[in-house]
Amino acid sequence: MEIYHLSATELAKKIKSKEISSKELTQMYIDRIDKLDGEVNSVIIKMFDRAIQDAEKADQALSKGEDLGPLHGLPMTIKESYAIADQKTTWGNEAFRENTAPSDGLAVRRFREAGAHFLGKTNVPLDLADFQSFNSIYGTTNNPWNLERIPGGSSGGSAAALAAGFTGLEAGSDIGGSIRNPAHFCGVYGHKPTHGIIPQTGHELISNVPESDLSVCGPLARSAEDLKCALDIMAGPAEREATGWKLDLPKPKFKSLEKLKVAVWATDEVAPVANEIEERTLQIGETLAKLGAEVSFDARPNFDPTFAHANYQLLLQSVMAAGMGDEERAKIQKMVEELDESKMTSDAATLGDKTALFESASARGAVLSHANWLKANYQREKLKIAWKEFFEEWDILLCPQMAVTAFEHDQRKFSERTLMVNNQEQPYFQQIFWSGIIVNSYLPSTVFPTGPSNDGLPIGIQAVSGAYQDYKTIEFSRLIAEEIGGFIAPPDFV
Domains, the chain, ordered by start: 3-254 (3.90.1300.10), 305-390 (no CATH)
- Non-local (6+) Cβ contacts of 178 within 8 A are 128, 152, 153, 154, 155, 172
Task: Specify the pLDDT at position 221.
Answer: 99
d(CA 44, CA 339): 43
**What is the β-pairing status of strands 424-427 and 396-400?**
unpaired
The DSSP bridge partners found for residue 100 are 88
Task: Specify the pLDDT at position 176.
Answer: 95
Task: Specify the pLDDT at position 206.
Answer: 76
CB 218 within 8 A of CB 198: yes
**Number of Cα atoms under 13 Å in the Cβ half of residue 436:** 23
Residue 266: C-alpha distances to residues 60, 306, 336 (Å)? 51, 16, 29
Task: Specify the pTM.
Answer: 0.93
Task: Specify the pLDDT at position 370.
Answer: 86
Task: Specify the pLDDT at position 338.
Answer: 57
In a structure prediction context, what are the per-residue pLDDT tens digits for the chain, which is 494 residues long? 999 999 999 999 999 999 999 999 999 999 999 999 999 999 999 999 999 999 999 999 999 999 999 999 999 999 999 999 999 999 999 999 999 999 999 999 999 999 999 999 999 999 999 999 999 999 999 999 999 999 999 999 999 999 999 999 999 999 999 999 999 999 999 999 999 999 999 998 877 778 899 999 999 999 999 999 999 999 999 999 999 999 999 999 999 999 999 999 999 999 999 999 999 999 999 999 999 999 999 999 999 999 999 999 999 988 876 644 454 444 444 555 555 544 444 444 444 444 444 444 444 444 678 888 999 999 999 999 999 999 999 999 999 999 999 999 999 999 999 999 999 999 999 999 999 999 999 999 999 999 999 999 999 999 999 999 999 999 999 999 999 999 999 999 99
Residue 95: C-alpha distances to residues 43, 89, 90, 474 (Å)? 21, 11, 8, 38
CB 134 within 8 A of CB 160: no
CB 110 within 8 A of CB 219: no
d(CA 487, CA 171): 17
